[in-house]
Amino acid sequence: MLDLRYIREHAAEVKANCEARRVPCDIDALLKLAAERAALITEVQEIQRQQNEVAKLTKQAKSDDERSKIIQQGRELKQLFESKNARADEIDSETKELLKGIPNLTHPDAPRGEENVTVREVGQRPRFDSKPLDHVAICDRLGLADFESAAKVTGSNFYYLKGDGVLLEQALINYALRTLVNEGFTPVTTPDLARASILEGTGYIPRGAETQIYTVANTDLCLIATAEITLAGMYADEIIEVDDLPIRLAGLSHCFRTEAGAAGRATKGLYRVHQFTKVEMFEFTTPDQSEATHQRMLAIEEKIFQGLEVPYRVIDTSISDMGGPAYRKYDLEAWMPGRGDAGEWGEVTSTSNCTDYQARRLGIRYKGKGFKGTRFVHMLNGTAIACGRAMIAVLENHQQSDGTVRVPAALVPFMGKEVIGKQG
């Protein structure tokens, strides 16, 4: 959510921003409504002032006669208040609705065009003597996953992991957590569910036809799409001492996505699934630190994939392609040799600087010396490891001609073996 005052004072900028982001927003309508709201509030408050005055007069009344006259006056004011106030409430919630629909501002250097920008490509793509297998075939051959049983039990786009598949996932989680702890993050396991209001605060939309979110019947709980939601929610309505910032959390959770509208798009195997496990970086910071923090998160993501010996490229996401809360977003796309005819890039991480957009909705502020009152924190998130997709990258890049998979050195201590698919 943006500050209404900011929108009023920078209407042209906000309009241009919405346009560039391809988010249809009627700023003029919003401002008109907001003006109407202000006028109504003034009116309502004047009535309330009179009500307060009348209430005071009541107890000062000298005779019963005078008293009942004043009370009658109070009754009339009350009726007037009720009718005016109902309208004011209506306009107020309409204003908030419109306000919620306006996306965050964007970093001046973020790509503006239709296309995302590849910032750099890192690592050598592996060479294979024959056509490499895709991860589904590798999983089948080595007994790492079972998609057929999952289809019976939960339907399409679920999976069981088995054998070394389980060990590989756990190794990836522990490798990511260890890396983040070394970077000063506090590991946190979070609930896999959250209230709809928390989802909304983070910018997710729990209801509606296009929603990516599962809801739990007869409750106001949703299955989370990422630990970003629960980590952000931890500090909802809190005021943080500036000396306690930054707060760096490494969240471990399951993630659930309905993938509505994704039918037919790369749905095979582990790439697009309804449930996966993810280690997520999350940071609350002061505004002056958020850009540096964003760069650092990106660097950590790169370090993790370098450790996995997986070639990747860094994508600076076009603002026409970013989610509403993001001010700037980088993705890592890993090389997946088994995808398509000759390998393809596949998104494996994403890091966003959401500035104060989520903080304003969730009421997360900080206070400190040198300034009066409180300010909104900046909030950033980034994927450390999304298990399914990281597994694809590892399995497809490190497959060997004998059908086994080499475990990258960084994972060996966590995996307890150097090769997947060999006895022992």
Partner RNA sequence: GGACGGGUGGCAGAGCGGCUGAUUGCACCGGUCUUGAAAACCGGAGUUCCCGAAAGGGAAUCGUGGGUUCAAAUCCCACCCCGUCCGCCA
| Catalytic positions | 257, 272, 347, 350, 389
- Out of 75, 112, 120, 268, the only residue in the binding site for RNA (CB under 7 A) is 75
Which residues are registered as beta bridge partners of 247?
A: 284
The stretch near RNA (CB under 7 A) out of 69-77, 178-186, 243-251, 324-332 is 69-77
Q: How far is CA 272 from the centre of its chain?
A: 18
Q: How far apart are CA 170 and CA 158, in angstroms?
A: 18
Instruction: Please report, for residues 20, 108, 110, 206, 421, the alpha-carbon distance to residue 17 in angstroms, rounded to integers and kept in the order given.
Output: 5, 10, 12, 25, 52
Give me the least distance between CB of 233 and RNA, in Å please: 13
Within 24-43, the residues that bind RNA by CB under 7 A are: 38-39, 41-42
End-to-end C-alpha distance for the chain, whole angstroms: 54
Instruction: Determine, following the binding rule CB under 7 A, whether residue 372 of this chain makes contact with RNA.
Output: yes
Closest to 383 (Cα-Cα) out of 313, 284, 314, 297: 297
**Rg of the chain's alpha carbons, rounded to an integer?**
27
Q: Is 409 in the site for RNA (CB under 7 A)?
A: no
Cβ proximity to RNA: between 86 and 409 the closer is 86
Q: Give me the DSSP letters along 286-301.
A: -GGGHHHHHHHHHHHH
How near is the Cβ of 86 to RNA at its closest, in Å? 9
- Contact set for RNA, span 292-351 (CB under 7 A): none
Contact 160, 149 (CB under 8 A): yes
Taking the C-alpha atoms of residue 282 and residue 247, their distance in angstroms, rounded to an integer, is 8
Q: Check binding of 74 to RNA (CB under 7 A).
A: yes
Q: Minimum distance from CB of 364 to RNA (Å)?
A: 13
Residue type, 193: L
Integer Cα distance of 178 and 125 in angstroms: 26
Cα distances (Å, whole numbers) of residue 146 to 24, 34, 138, 172, 419 = 43, 55, 11, 19, 20
Query: Could you say whether residue 58 binds RNA (CB under 7 A)?
Result: yes
Strand partners, 334: 312, 346
CB of 207 to RNA, least distance (A): 18
Shorter beta-carbon distance to RNA: residue 271 or 376 = 376
Asked if 85 touches RNA (CB under 7 A), the answer is no
20 vs 41 by CB, closer to RNA: 41
Residue from 78, 112, 207, 422 binding RNA (CB under 7 A): 78
**Judged by CB under 7 A, how many residues of this single chain contact RNA?**
28
Applying CB under 7 A, the span of 45-53, 287-295, 312-320, 333-341 interacting with RNA comes to 45-53
Segment 231-290, which members bind RNA (CB under 7 A)? 239
Considering beta carbons, is residue 75 or 112 the nearer one to RNA?
Answer: 75
Smallest gap from Cβ 118 to RNA, in A, equals 41
Q: Is 186 in the site for RNA (CB under 7 A)?
A: no
Tell me: does residue 197 bind RNA (CB under 7 A).
no
| Cβ 78 to RNA shortest distance, Å | 5
Helix (H, G, I), strand (E, B) or coil at 382: strand
**Residue 46 interacts with RNA (CB under 7 A)?**
yes
Compute the Cα dihedral for 321, 323, 329, 332 and give only its sign: negative
Positions touching RNA (CB under 7 A) are: 4-5, 38-39, 41-42, 45-46, 48-49, 51-52, 54-56, 58-59, 70-71, 74-75, 77-78, 239, 369, 372-374
